[in-house]
Structure 1
């Protein structure tokens, strides 16, 4: 019986630590961005290499907005170059906020913009 209990305790401890490790691996920093008519209020960003969730607020644009992130130098008009995890999970309705999935960013330069608003292309630098 003691051996059986020891096996159960070990299995439970392994499961709990495994879930804790999974949680640690999926922690991401939230980057909040606001869109107004025709622009983002944040004109550039500098981040550290890591995992991010982009939270996009539609501040009275009057229609749906979105978010596109592309490595700098790639054709931003080609959806194949977009970092799809950075898309908001659904279009951001007027005066609401939506978030992206967790997006891993490596060192380099990126551009972000909204084709629905539409906005200029802004620079995001990852150090």
Structure 2
């Protein structure tokens, strides 16, 4: 009986801790990651941030046409849209010489690849989340 009670208390503790962490992440305002695209490339090719919620701000610096933004966990098939982190997409293609934003995107520890399929840019751009 003591083992059952101890297990019950452990489950409740883990549950409350997870709920508290979820609430903290929701209550924390999103930070902004600004990335600039020029013709055929992102000007910032490596980026390191801490885990958290971010909005991607994409600057189209005279590319000459619309640009976008795709974020994929490193190691996943970049060409498969199922692997894309959809909240990181800009909410609309970014017109020439303007700026667009994504929805808030929660990032966990790991590495991510980012690229633009419309520009198109290299897929060697790495976002590291610590």
> Residue 123 of structure 1 corresponds to which residue in structure 2?
126
TM-score normalised to structure 1 length: 0.81
Distance in 2 (CA, whole Å) between partners of 1:82 and 1:74 is 9
Q: Deviations over 1:19-58 (max 9, x none)?
A: xx89x62510000100000000001110100000000000
Q: Which residue of 2 aligns with 1:16?
A: none
Work out the CA distance in 1 between the residues paired with 2:28 and 2:112.
Answer: 22
For residues 60-107 of structure 1, the C-alpha deviation after alignment (integer angstroms, 9 at most, x for no partner) is: 000000000000000000000000000000000000000000000000
3-state DSSP of counterpart to 1:85:
helix
The runs of 5 or more residues in structure 2 that have no matched partner are 1-22
Secondary structure of 2:34's counterpart equals strand
Q: Aligned pairs, how many?
A: 107
Q: Counterpart of 1:41?
A: 43
